Amino acid sequence: MFTSEIQTIEAQIRAHCAKTNIPLPEKMDWRPLPFSGESGIFTSFFQAAAQEARQGQKINVPQRAQEIAASVAKALGTLEGIHRVEAVKGYLNLYFDPSAFARRVVDTVLQQGEDFGRGKPKNERVMVEYAQPNTHHSFHIGHYRNAILGEALARLVEFAGYDTIRASYPGDIGLGVITVLWMYDKFYKGQEPEGVHERGQWLLKLYVEATNLLTPREDETPEEKAQREAYDAERREMYRRWDAGDEYVRALWLETREWSLQELRAILEMMDIHIDVWFYESQVDEPGKQIVEELIARGIAEDERPDGPVIVRIDEKLGLKKEKYRTAVILRSDGTTLYLTKDLALAKIKFEQYGVDRSIYVVDTRQSLHFQQAFKILELWGFPQAEKCFHLGYGFVSLPEGAMSARRGRVVLFKEVADEAVRRVLNEIAEKNPSMPTEQREAVALQVGLGALAYAMLSVDNNKDIVFDMDAALSFDGHTGPYIQNAHVRAGSILRKAGDLPSQADFSYQLSPYEVELVDLIARFPETVQQAAEEYRPLVMATYAFDLATAFHRFYHEVPVLQADTGTQRSARLRLVAAAKQTLANALRLLAIQAPEQM
């Protein structure tokens, strides 16, 4: 956060080292000190000592590092804004003067506002692909986890400074889709319900019914068996017609697909997600076939047709002795493509047509091998971007009642969960805050209800499964979204009562530990943005937001603001509250959670 100060200090250190012939590395690494009641930064001199050792001097590296640190500490003397310099075990620790630091942090936040924490442009393009459920199916709570994780990640990388493209890739073709088409065409044509969500959800019902009709049963009679086989033949015929581009089937497919997409768009709208590019699985089917030919021609894939499929022996091509990526099939012997084939075609489009440098896929962890294989084939194919492809996997979501099963129609629909969460918050507001006008209640309930769901998803490591507990998620004083939102609301209410915010303030009084801690956390926001983005881990930001809220709630309980002893304290604390509020809002925004003014 203090690049210019660090530069000045670094220049002094370099001058000292040049004079005394200490070989400093080209780039000195500065990091924030772990918080221990004081804020500061540190660097180390192990590299310099090791360099001397390499130059042939006989030295003990740790001991020499400490010597250098001590000599630097001495040479630095007193520094503006730094109230203590310390050399320990080869490290140089600089402790900020708490008052100067607080003022500096608060001024920076209030000056930069919504942009506080934004990283410098990085000249690299990231594509985040998420919110890509299969069509002809309902949007369930697992899809929601995917969408919120992807959106948070997209917001993080964008804010960190990457040129960011949001992409979706619905699976709009395959046997599941055809099954629904067949069912609709045969039994339900023209009977679709009204309403975007109802119609989307209804497709799942058709799927479940169709699966019942088409799955063999142990006790079936010969007539039933014959019937089932006839149905199955019809379904296969429908797939063949789709493949051949039959006008009737294609029109039916597009019409029903649109129902799913309308529901998806409505949900994304509700989540404030705006996808830039829509890819569809169906659109990369043909390009996939051409790619297979190219891979065969380049000797990457082996064509075993007509007796077998087209395969890539990935381990062998990479020269691996042990089985790791295995052998992947990229074209069936009948010439039809697979999921993998289409992903290869899609990746090529992303790289070549969209200039993507880093390609992120937010997809269920169960597809992990699939993506490892795809990325390795891209590497064998010669795409340098393959190295920067990343599969952000995520675990299963269930309710305490039990697991989902789409085949049996047991899915937890996102819309139902969201409606229920909002309903509960509305009841709570009615009870606790009856003076809030009805119109505002609805808006706030939506912000808080959805915020609770989002945080329940983002605050768990993406690889872990989630058993979603609505009561816990909605609690105001747990590790929850509402708890963080409530910190924002409290800050807002102090500021409203205070009236105008002082345009500047001096923190030159004995700061309480609560103030020091709050300032330290606020100051860490920019580096947390970078860390979460570089590691592709929204959880890092979710944890940060909770820590910041906790520090704020503590401050709120312990430190008088409106009733502060002196005018100086009152002004300083008001500005600190405003800075905390802004930082909470920025952090929540990166988690795709709204920051309400009241709740």
Site residues, ligand ARG (CB under 6 A): 129, 132-134, 169, 171, 343, 346, 361, 363
Residue 151 or residue 515: which is nearer to ligand ARG going by CB? 151
- DSSP assignment of 259-322 equals HHHHHHHHHHHHTT---SEE--GGGGHHHHHHHHHHHHHTTSSEE-TTTS-EEEEHHHHHT-SS
Rounded-to-10 torsion of CA 95, 97, 98, 104: -110
Place of tokens 């209804």: 202
In whole angstroms, the minimum distance from the beta carbon of 146 to ligand ARG comes to 8
Residue 167 or residue 422: which is nearer to ligand ARG going by CB? 167
In whole angstroms, the minimum distance from the beta carbon of 252 to ligand ARG comes to 21
Residue 101 or residue 394: which is nearer to ligand ARG going by CB? 394
Residue 284 or residue 314: which is nearer to ligand ARG going by CB? 284
Q: Return the residue nearest ligand ARG (CB atom).
A: 171
The structure tokens listed for 21 are 């012939």
In whole angstroms, the minimum distance from the beta carbon of 396 to ligand ARG comes to 13
Residue 224 or residue 387: which is nearer to ligand ARG going by CB? 387
Task: Tell me the one-letter amino acid at 241.
Answer: R
In whole angstroms, the minimum distance from the beta carbon of 251 to ligand ARG comes to 23
Q: Are strands 397-398 and 389-392 parallel, antiparallel or unpaired?
A: unpaired
Maximum CA pair distance of the chain? 97
Separation CA 286–CA 281 (nearest Å): 10
Residue 129 or residue 158: which is nearer to ligand ARG going by CB? 129
Residue 260 or residue 571: which is nearer to ligand ARG going by CB? 260
User: Coil, strand or helix: which one is 252?
Assistant: helix
Residue 363 in contact with residue 133, Cβ under 8 Å? no
Residue 455 in contact with residue 473, Cβ under 8 Å? yes
Q: Which residues contact 78 (CB under 8 A, 6 or more apart)?
A: none
In whole angstroms, the minimum distance from the beta carbon of 419 to ligand ARG comes to 23
In whole angstroms, the minimum distance from the beta carbon of 582 to ligand ARG comes to 36
Q: Which residues contact 354 (CB under 8 A, 6 or more apart)?
A: 125, 127, 165, 277
In whole angstroms, the minimum distance from the beta carbon of 549 to ligand ARG comes to 33
Residue 108 or residue 134: which is nearer to ligand ARG going by CB? 134
Taking alpha carbons only, the member of 213, 216, 188 closest to residue 202 is 188
* Cis, peptide link before residue 306, omega less than 30° from 0: yes
In whole angstroms, the minimum distance from the beta carbon of 360 to ligand ARG comes to 10
Distance, C-alpha 488 to centroid of its chain: 22
The structure tokens listed for 563 are 């009733």
Separation CA 52–CA 300 (nearest Å): 48
In whole angstroms, the minimum distance from the beta carbon of 222 to ligand ARG comes to 37
Residue 280 or residue 468: which is nearer to ligand ARG going by CB? 280
Residue 328 or residue 599: which is nearer to ligand ARG going by CB? 328
User: Coil, strand or helix: which one is 27?
Assistant: coil
Number of helices (H), then strands (E), belonging to the chain: the values are 21, 14
In whole angstroms, the minimum distance from the beta carbon of 361 to ligand ARG comes to 5
Q: Are strands 40-44 and 31-32 parallel, antiparallel or unpaired?
A: antiparallel
In whole angstroms, the minimum distance from the beta carbon of 175 to ligand ARG comes to 13
Residue 129 or residue 151: which is nearer to ligand ARG going by CB? 129
**Backbone phi and psi for residue 244, each to the nearest 5 degrees, phi listed first:** -80, 0
Residue 116 or residue 383: which is nearer to ligand ARG going by CB? 383
Residue 282 in contact with residue 206, Cβ under 8 Å? no
In whole angstroms, the minimum distance from the beta carbon of 339 to ligand ARG comes to 7
Task: Tell me the one-letter amino acid at 251.
Answer: A
DSSP category for residue 188: I
Radius of gyration of the chain (CA): 29
